[in-house]
Amino acid sequence: MRRDEKHLRKLQSLLSAYGAMLELPLYLYEGDRVLLESAAADDAASEPVPLAEAVVRRPGEAAWLLRMYGPAGAEPKASQYAGFEFLKELIEEFVQAQEERRLAIQRLQFVNALTLLQAEPAAWIDSLMEVFRKITGFDVTGYARAAGEGRFVVERADGTPEAARLLGLEFTAADGLLGQVALTRQVGYWEQRQWEGRFAAFGHTGLQLRTLIAHPVKHSTELYGILFGGCCGEGGIGETASELTALLSHLLAAETEIRLGRQRHAAYGKAMSVLHQANASFAEAVRLRDMTASLVDCIYALTDVVFTYAVLFDRAGGLDESTIEIRGGARAAAEQHMKSMLRRLETAGGDAQNELREESNGLLLELPLVEADRMLGVCGVMLPLGSAGTELRLTLKLIAGAASAYLVRLHGEEAPPRETAGLSDRPSLRRTQTVRTGPDEAERTSSIPLEGLTSRERQVLRLVAKGLGNQQIAEQLFISVHTVKNHLTHIFGKLGVEDRAQAIAKAYREKLVE
């Protein structure tokens, strides 16, 4: 409990009044030190000795000791004993009332601080942390923010000169005492004798803390950070300071959730606006290159990306270099990433997923442009580290999905590009054949779903028709034998055949290959 002169004067008056009434000297001790004493009693024949003592309990603080003295061998009266016990209860009630009053004032200060923070959002955590240290009486206070992937960074530290050395300190879950709070998400309280050298993070700063308390700042299942405070002196951390630390951790969590919610709302609003603009831009495209240009322009307008690029494939599955579009300052890096991605897609047999990979200069998000199982193209976006939130990734995927839909339309409207092999130089993507199901049934025509074969499957089918084996096909297309077998399984199923011979026969009969 933080005492002031006003409270001590009230206690002194109370002690003196009861000393005069009981006609015996009274002493109030804090440890071995005399805190207060009543007026000296009349001279006695012998040195006074303790006649009675009582423990005065204080909330969250070390107890005081109340003693009543008198001549050696004297026996106090019953009324003196009763008065002494009543005085002890009065002191405890006085201490409790002062503690409750102080706690109410401190909580009111927190409410006022929260109102102030809402008016000044730019410095909300700085202001709140300053109030926190002042009203709790901690020698050191700080806040460690969750930095992702189980890492935490101390971004606020106040108090003693050594506290500033904590700024920028990084630790992980289960690393030291603060890491234990991050791991368990439970309140942690330690005294110096419990540390046993585990708190190296504080040791190297020169801080000589005797007690430390840490609260997780969390909302639902989300951990935003860790709030901590410590004392250098004796006496530990009282119940009041502990309650205020818990209150502040809840305020921080609520304020963080509100601010993140506003950011998400603003991000969704901007995303919907950009998506609307993207659809309008895609609808005006008359060439395939118009589409890739519109796509990268829309993505580059959405967020502060490092770079973005897009490229389309022709109907034979080959790269259409005329559709390459790049935006951003790091063009050389974008071209390098695009070439690396294309080589990987070639090796993987043309398959691509929505992948997010951490690179040296940011986070690379790959967005395949697809129609059913057909690969139309791919878009790459390099984002700054820490910026690839769920909302942003969802928006980028929606834009890529819209672009894919418009690409399907353009593929149908544009004159097919001239190719040396495949069906792109033919006026129709479907052929018919005559099928007999029995001697008494009439002939009927059924179409072979040529568009059902992907560009990679068509490549495999052409090589099969040339007599190449699985290993030779794998080497020529830079894919694995296993991938070749998978493609053949899909080809057989789509053509309705059982083996390579039937597939080759149907391919030549239906002019799927030249």
- What is the average per-residue pLDDT within 379-391? 75
Lowest mean pLDDT among 18-22, 31-35, 99-103, 349-353: 349-353
| Residue 276 parent element (H or E) | helix 239-284
Give the residue with greater pLDDT, 74 vs 325. Answer: 325
Residue with tokens 């339309």, as numbered in its chain? 409
Q: Give the pLDDT mean for 149-162.
A: 85
pLDDT tens string 105-114: 766 766 666 5
Mean pLDDT of 29-54: 78
**Three-point CA angle 397, 317, 377, nearest 5°:** 20
Q: What is the mean pLDDT of the chain?
A: 77
- 431-435 vs 444-448, strand pairing mode: antiparallel
**Predicted local distance difference test score (pLDDT) of residue 115:** 60
Q: Is the pLDDT of residue 59 over 80?
A: no
The pTM for the full model equals: 0.48
Instruction: Give residue-wise pLDDT tens across range 246-299.
Output: 888 887 888 788 877 777 777 777 777 777 888 888 888 888 888 888 888 888
pLDDT digits (tens, 9 = 90+) for 394-434: 778 888 888 888 888 776 654 444 333 333 332 322 333 33
User: Is the model more confident about 497 or about 55?
Assistant: 55
- DSSP-derived letter for residue 128 is H
Residues shown for the chain? 514
3-state percent breakdown (helix, strand, coil) of the chain, nearest 5: 50, 25, 25
Which of the two residues, 340 and 56, has the higher pLDDT score?
56
What band does 439 get if pLDDT is binned at 50, 70 and 90?
very low
Are the beta carbons of 362 and 332 closer than 8 angstroms? Answer: no
Q: How far apart are CA 453 and CA 503, in angstroms?
A: 13
Q: What confidence tens digit (pLDDT) does each residue in 192-218 have?
A: 655 544 554 565 666 778 888 999 999
